[in-house]
């Protein structure tokens, strides 16, 4: 457990309450409490938690959200690059906090959520960007070890599920929140050697739709977003011979995803969208 995550379990406000009771309570609350989900109402996040935020798309999303006024908690395993991104955001006048932690470690879930809330207040935007390819070069399924598949599912599916379970209930009680799952076209297309990663993203897409169905009417929206192929370290590890000039800049993709988040009142909860379909946020 990392120092920044230790001892925060007591900060979780919704501990011990089952998800159905949270959803029922939120549905029964007065709809005049300012739920963002009214059709067409813009959504401007105040406190965001972004996982996998030490580089690539996660870092770009943290920068863009901070630029637009959100207080951001950045989560990733590697402390040094994470703190560098947070310092960069702070130097530009934004509010950002680095929280070194492993989304794939069940024991850290409550500590992550509690520490984030202590740093920036109630989280109203949760972006699940952290993911792993598993072993590289990517093996075919026949050569994929069960332990490697298990780690991919733990980080890419189970980790986001646990963190959403901790945070989304409180969002529902406040009738305000957006949860974004970063997906992939490998979730809907069968690419050789992408079996473990693709299966994890397909499962994440389905979780997103199910969360949306179960929390319908609570003011919490869920989206699965396919960012497209980007010029990132992960892409280079997966496809070393790819031409970087043919890949999207993560900063451009981040602006498009933030545009989607801002239109959460218009886009139906549970939708799976391609980032390229949204205009970049100004």
Assess whether pLDDT exceeds 70 at residue 12. Answer: no
Q: What whole-number distance in Å separates Cα of residue 92 and Cα of residue 113?
A: 26
Taking the CA atoms of residue 164, residue 170, residue 176 and residue 179 in that order, the dihedral angle to the nearest 10 degrees is 0
Q: Exposed, middle or buried: residue 215 (CB in 10 Å: 0-12, 13-18, 19+)?
A: buried
Q: Could you tell me if residue 19 is inside a domain?
A: no
Q: Residues 54, 282: contact at Cβ < 8 Å?
A: no
From 5, 131, 184, 197, active-site residue: 197
Q: Could you tell me if residue 7 is inside a domain?
A: no
Q: What whole-number distance in Å separates Cα of residue 1 and Cα of residue 122?
A: 23
Tens digits of per-residue pLDDT, 55-70? Answer: 999 999 999 999 999 9
Whichever domain contains 233, its CATH number is 3.40.50.720
What percent of the chain clears pLDDT 70, i.e. is strictly above it? 84
Q: Residues 250, 60: contact at Cβ < 8 Å?
A: yes
Tens digits of per-residue pLDDT, 121-180? Answer: 999 999 999 999 999 999 999 999 999 999 999 999 999 999 999 999 999 999 999 999
Consecutive H or E run containing 141: none
Q: Residues 164, 215: contact at Cβ < 8 Å?
A: no
Q: What is the pLDDT of residue 33?
A: 42
Whether 183 is catalytic is yes
Q: Name 268's Cβ contacts closer than 8 Å, sequence gap at least 6.
A: none
Q: Could you tell me if residue 199 is inside a domain?
A: yes
Q: Could you tell me if residue 28 is inside a domain?
A: no
- Cis, bond preceding 137 (omega within 30 deg of 0): yes
CA distances to 32, 40, 63, 185, 207 from 203, rounded to whole Å, are: 35, 29, 28, 13, 6
Q: Could you tell me if residue 9 is inside a domain?
A: no
| Predicted confidence band of residue 40 (pLDDT cuts 50, 70, 90) | low
Whether 197 is catalytic is yes
Q: Name 249's Cβ contacts closer than 8 Å, sequence gap at least 6.
A: 230, 231
**Span of 33-37, 181-185, 216-220, 248-252 with lowest mean pLDDT:** 33-37
Q: Taking the mean position of all CA atoms in its chain, how far away is CA 9?
A: 20
From 5, 8, 131, 183, active-site residue: 183
**Span of 33-37, 96-100, 177-181, 191-195 with lowest mean pLDDT:** 33-37
- Biggest CA–CA distance in the chain, Å, is 55
Assess whether pLDDT exceeds 60 at residue 232. Answer: yes
Q: Residues 231, 252: contact at Cβ < 8 Å?
A: no
Q: Could you tell me if residue 270 is inside a domain?
A: yes
Look up residue 196 and give its two tokens.
């473990």
Q: What whole-number distance in Å separates Cα of residue 82 and Cα of residue 109?
A: 18
Q: Could you tell me if residue 22 is inside a domain?
A: no
Domains: count for the chain: 1
Domain of 66 in residue numbering reads as 37-277
**Chain-wide mean pLDDT for the chain?**
87
From 8, 54, 201, 208, active-site residue: 201
Look up residue 270 and give its two tokens.
């549970």
Q: Could you tell me if residue 182 is inside a domain?
A: yes
Q: What is the pLDDT of residue 1?
A: 37
């Amino acid at each position: 457990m990392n120092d920044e995550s230790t001892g925060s379990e007591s900060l979780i406000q919704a501990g011990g309450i089952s998800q159905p009771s949270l959803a029922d309570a939120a549905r029964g609350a007065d709809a005049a409490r300012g739920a963002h989900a009214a059709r067409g109402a813009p959504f401007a996040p105040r406190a965001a938690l972004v996982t996998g935020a030490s580089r690539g798309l996660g870092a770009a999303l943290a920068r863009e959200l901070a630029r637009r006024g959100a207080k951001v908690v950045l989560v990733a395993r590697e402390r040094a690059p994470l703190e560098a991104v947070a310092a960069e955001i702070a130097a530009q006048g934004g509010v950002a906090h680095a929280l070194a932690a492993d989304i794939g470690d069940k024991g850290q879930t409550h500590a992550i959520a509690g520490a984030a809330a202590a740093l920036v207040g109630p989280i109203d935007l949760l972006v699940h960007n952290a993911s792993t390819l598993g072993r590289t070069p990517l093996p075919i399924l026949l050569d994929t070890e069960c332990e490697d598949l298990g780690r991919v599912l733990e980080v890419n599916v189970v980790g986001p599920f646990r963190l959403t379970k901790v945070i989304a209930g409180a969002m529902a009680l406040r009738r305000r929140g957006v949860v974004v799952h970063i997906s992939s076209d490998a979730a809907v297309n069968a690419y050789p050697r992408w079996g473990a990663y693709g299966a994890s993203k397909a499962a994440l897409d389905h979780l997103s739709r199910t969360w949306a169905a179960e929390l319908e009417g609570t003011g919490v929206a869920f989206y699965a977003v396919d960012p497209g192929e980007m010029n990132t370290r992960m892409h280079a590890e997966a496809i070393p011979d790819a031409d970087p000039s043919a890949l999207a800049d993560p900063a451009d993709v981040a602006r498009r995803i933030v545009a989607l988040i801002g239109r959460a009142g218009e886009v139906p909860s549970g939708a799976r969208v391609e980032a390229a379909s949204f205009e970049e946020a100004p």
